[in-house]
Amino acid sequence: MIFRQLFDPETSTYTYLLADERTREAVLIDSVREQFERDVALLEQLELRLVFALETHVHADHVTAAGRLRERLGARIGIGGKSGVRNADLLLGDGDWIAFGSHRLEARATPGHTSGCTSYVGDGMAFTGDALLIRGCGRTDFQEGDARALFHSVRSRILSLPDATLLFPAHDYHGRSVTTVSEEKRWNPRLGLAQGEERFVALMQGLGLPYPKRMDEAVPANLHAGLAPAAPPRAERVAELMDEVGRQDAAQWQGAGI
């Protein structure tokens, strides 16, 4: 197995490359549009053929490169069936799997951060998206977020895996890269086995997190595999632009509909 963990520093997003050494068939999980050329170059250098561009969910913080990877390399796009993405090639349900060479990844429905969240499991590893982060979890206050659903997903579909299973999240904001089932069962302050459901739900409801900066651009684009035109800027974005370039210029920009 060929395996690479790639990082987008702007959004702290991990992209994972998995490939079969013999057939050279490769899978990318959670690609990032701004890292498209980096990932295409790596695939070329390793002499790999991208067969699947998988998404763990419709991201709110970055735009996926999946659509471009399909256009350039012919990869098939796979995402959870409840994600709402209309132009995917594979709408994966719980227990479905994809194969690349002699390897398989099983799709496990892990809703709660979004209703379509899917984790991918194979070769002693699990790619958990935003369902389970290292010592944390994804937020549940937008995009069909449901703390109760997340609690049960993580407990029944991720923390039920063998203790030594390596867990790779979609993000880490503290310089960590990987964890294990046993570590998270013991040390995750939200979803570890010592924590109860009611406490978790109350904690998630009280986080009071800010609105994600790129959500208005990222979600509509990702519902079309990253290929949709950017959404028009929100009023807040116009205000930011006015700060950046001065009121006179910004007034012209508004007039131009930017």
31 Cβ contact partners less than 8 Å away, ≥ 6 residues apart = 15, 39, 53, 64, 65, 66, 69
Report in angstroms how near the CB of residue 61 gets to Fe ion at its nearest.
6
| Residues 54-73, interacting with Fe ion (CB under 5 A) | 59
The site for Fe ion, by CB under 5 A, has a size of 2
Only segment of 8-16, 127-135, 154-162, 243-251 that touches Fe ion (CB under 5 A): 127-135
Q: Taking the complex as a whole, how short is the minimal distance between the CB of residue 60 and Fe ion, in angstroms?
A: 5
**Selected range binding Fe ion among 13-21, 53-61, 102-110, 213-221, rule: CB under 5 A:** 53-61
The neighbour count for residue 166, using CB atoms within 10 Å, is 16
What angle, rounded to 10 degrees, do the helices at 247-255 and 235-245 form?
A: 140
Non-local CB neighbours of 196 within 8 Å, separated by 6+ positions: none
Beta carbons of 131 and 112 less than 8 angstroms apart: yes
For residues 86-105, which are near Fe ion according to CB under 5 A? none
Q: How far is CA 135 from the centre of its chain?
A: 17
Shortest separation between residue 83's beta carbon and Fe ion, angstroms:
11
Q: How far is the CB of 57 from Fe ion (least distance, A)?
A: 6
In this structure, the strands spanning 2-8 and 179-180 are unpaired
Which residue has its beta carbon closest to Fe ion? 130
The least distance separating Fe ion from the CB of residue 157, rounded to whole angstroms, comes to 17
What is the closest distance, in whole angstroms, from the C-beta atom of residue 114 to Fe ion in the complex? 7
Judged by CB under 5 A, the chain residues 129 through 168 that form the site for Fe ion are: 130
Residue 225 tokens read as 């595999």
Q: Compare residues 17 and 133 and give the one whose CB is closer to Fe ion.
A: 133
80/101 with CB nearer Fe ion: 80
- Judged on CB neighbours under 10 Å (0-12, 13-18, 19+), 240 is middle
Closer of 39 and 130 to Fe ion (Cβ) = 130
Interface ranges with Fe ion (CB under 5 A) = 59, 130
